[in-house]
Structure 1
């Protein structure tokens, strides 16, 4: 059983039920006096999980993920994995949707599923007195989802309505246009939600096939936080995950180099123009990732202190905010800039943002800016661990990125080790002589 440590923090639950709120009031949320151990636990049947054990409050958060997300949607069936996430807790085993949901509410248990491009996610939140029954419900949802016709149709109706709303939402249109422009025919270009047409064409049979394809032991990662010991966790892991097939039937997804330099404008009668700029980024395993993370904080992720915020909002009043973010997918990396402004100032806003990219590539930040960024990044890191749910998600994310069980110990020292030369080097690598893909969605511009 392998152990490492993370910072002192506060645990809280993300379960939104009255009984849990009573427990918050009764027990309080007290800080820990020492570091918290991360244990690597392996069950009798070979299921592995990372565990942070704490008995301060009788609450358990369990997060997990499977390899294969919406990039596994077959062409013409976009939205299938998203519908799978919406239906796996809508009846399972011998319980139909109404009975399953009623039982969760009765026990103050939360079970949910979601998907990204590369992975499929699930979570459980429960009190320790109801752990046995919560694990039974989770095992049913993971292994025996029913996909009853009425439940599937209800979820399809909800997702279709959301897809139709996205057809007139400038942010959704801009995001979809950017993905289509940069990812071309790659599965990443397909909308995770799907479209009204593709969602309505999905069937219970499609869901069963996709479930068998994705929900398997191979590639499974699990993070657990709360009032549970390793031995109890081992039994839970075997009860929930051991019945799964060893491997699924994933379709190979290739790496890609996103296409840049395109300009896309879509007219939409809305008050403002939404702007997205797409540039090369890095995948998470790139040796330059931490340097790029610090660089991006200075460029546009640092909110009130970033160059984008200062130049676009503070100096010129072009937008309420402008920012940049790194998006490290498994098969590609992006750096995305975003802002929203008046239609007649959209061109000016884009130019100011491009100026910051050029400035970062040419000059880079000052030593003072670098030190300030590193202090903020390292000082704010414990905020990622102020709830059991956040910690459980972080444990899963570390496994998915293969960062190692000791990453929490190493992370701040890696940030501290980033030098001014590192930031300038990665800025040139990502930004120098690069022409971004520019997407603008908004009213007609004179």
Structure 2
């Protein structure tokens, strides 16, 4: 307990020691074995954070094996080498280290935080988990039970139901069209060989992205990485094809008893590397970003009291792009709320934005950005994300300039290009009054 508190205290201290600004010094490191990584070196606190991503994620599930990558990632810390699940947990806790694994539709993620004095031992433990996972049957069954419990709970959760059907309608048979957690039948049918195959097919050296922040030099990081990844296969499964969003607008309702309905809505979006992305991001902030002054919050909540909250966001995924939003409303208010969303979408698409809208959005976006760099863990996570997006290492220094360069004419042009209320699809789960499904 004392060791855990020590690590937590140092992690918090690191957030205070790290300048709250985006002009951090990013080093591009290449290990002797050719592994590339980014590093923000800071020796003020004896603590390091390491972030690793393997591109592909749950989208790499093989036919008939939906949920295998997710189950594999969730079982990596359940024993490795000569350590069973309890032994691995005891070794990790004894080092006051944090080692976490996860998976989403685009990546398998590994997050590590360790004190400098325990770094070597913590990295040896991580190497075991990456290169020699045990996947013991007892551990697999235990973790499988947890996944199945979550899937059963999702069957009674209107938000989960809406998300599942919304994705299926948007992407059909593409992996994006179904949950990476799998379905009850597919997860139940998985065997140990499927999990081993998922490990070998996803955690390969040809898809690694790495970033570190904290008390480590570039030379030491390079040596660490070569040792860490030495036991991994050179190549993994082929990446899935690009996804195509179904841009046919409409409304789909699904009965679910209760006083409120859950509503998801959206249409296709814009890629991060598109020259118009920053203009689109500013448009989203004005329309439905995280501020109470956003138009949808004002029109749907403040003026009409139709919902407690509503928001939208741009999602630039590896294989597709989306512009989506969500809200919950009393059943008797859902139809009106949808009408208001469509009207505001059309209003902005027509170019109804002002210099004041633009200035406010710029102030918010440029002011909030440096606050993301608040400690070794967040910095390492941001750096690895930048690499996966193909950004240059000086991006944090130039990002706000790109935001500030957007003009009102850019906003109006991009709104006309991207925003089409006729393409908006609304998935409603609940018992909405006076709302007819179009499909």
TM-score by length of 1: 0.93
**1:424 aligned to which of 409, 412, 416:** 412
Moved more, 247-256 or 153-162: 247-256
Pair 1:389 & 2:377 matched: yes
Shift of 1:286: 1.5
For 1:366, the equivalent position in structure 2 comes to 354
CA contact (8 A) 2:20 2:374 kept: no
**2:262 aligned to which of 274, 277, 282:** 274
**1:239 aligned to which of 224, 227, 230:** 227
CA contact (8 A) 2:345 2:421 kept: no
For 2:393, the equivalent position in structure 1 comes to 405
**1:193 aligned to which of 176, 181, 184:** 181
Shift of 1:432: 3.3
Which runs of no fewer than 5 residues in structure 1 stay unpaired? 1-14
**1:288-327 to 2 correspondences below 5 Å:** 288-327=276-315
- Whole-angstrom CA distance in 2 between matches of 1:26 and 1:275: 41
SS for the counterpart of 2:236 is coil
- Whole-angstrom CA distance in 1 between matches of 2:224 and 2:391: 25
Moved more, 22-31 or 228-237: 22-31
Moved more, 198-207 or 69-78: 69-78
SS for the counterpart of 2:346 is helix
Pair 1:121 & 2:109 matched: yes
- Whole-angstrom CA distance in 2 between matches of 1:307 and 1:218: 44
CA contact (8 A) 1:268 1:444 kept: no
TM-score by length of 2: 0.94
- Whole-angstrom CA distance in 2 between matches of 1:105 and 1:213: 29
Shift of 1:372: 0.7
SS for the counterpart of 1:36 is coil
Describe the shift of the 1:420–1:70 C-alpha distance in structure 2 as closer, same or farther (beyond 3 A): same
Which runs of no fewer than 5 residues in structure 2 stay unpaired? 435-439
Describe the shift of the 1:22–1:63 C-alpha distance in structure 2 as closer, same or farther (beyond 3 A): closer
- Whole-angstrom CA distance in 1 between matches of 2:37 and 2:12: 30
For 1:4, the equivalent position in structure 2 comes to none
CA contact (8 A) 1:47 1:242 kept: no
- Whole-angstrom CA distance in 2 between matches of 1:171 and 1:276: 9
- Whole-angstrom CA distance in 1 between matches of 2:43 and 2:120: 17
**1:136-151 to 2 correspondences below 5 Å:** 136-151=124-139
- Whole-angstrom CA distance in 1 between matches of 2:206 and 2:9: 39
For 1:19, the equivalent position in structure 2 comes to 6
Pair 1:29 & 2:16 matched: yes
Describe the shift of the 1:291–1:99 C-alpha distance in structure 2 as closer, same or farther (beyond 3 A): same
CA contact (8 A) 2:296 2:310 kept: yes
Pair 1:438 & 2:426 matched: yes
For 2:30, the equivalent position in structure 1 comes to 42
For 2:119, the equivalent position in structure 1 comes to 131
**2:164 aligned to which of 171, 176, 179:** 176
Moved more, 237-246 or 338-347: 237-246
- Whole-angstrom CA distance in 2 between matches of 1:267 and 1:48: 51
Cα shift readout 1:117-154 (whole Å, capped 9, x = no counterpart): 12211111111110011100111111111100011001
Moved more, 400-409 or 279-288: 279-288
Describe the shift of the 1:428–1:434 C-alpha distance in structure 2 as closer, same or farther (beyond 3 A): farther
**1:161 aligned to which of 149, 159, 168:** 149
For 2:437, the equivalent position in structure 1 comes to none
Shift of 1:421: 1.2
- Whole-angstrom CA distance in 1 between matches of 2:400 and 2:10: 34
SS for the counterpart of 1:283 is coil
Moved more, 436-445 or 222-231: 436-445
- Whole-angstrom CA distance in 1 between matches of 2:201 and 2:127: 18
For 1:5, the equivalent position in structure 2 comes to none
Shift of 1:20: 1.5
Pair 1:337 & 2:325 matched: yes
- Whole-angstrom CA distance in 2 between matches of 1:153 and 1:33: 44
- Whole-angstrom CA distance in 2 between matches of 1:389 and 1:253: 32
Describe the shift of the 1:268–1:255 C-alpha distance in structure 2 as closer, same or farther (beyond 3 A): closer
SS for the counterpart of 2:54 is strand
- Whole-angstrom CA distance in 2 between matches of 1:291 and 1:444: 35
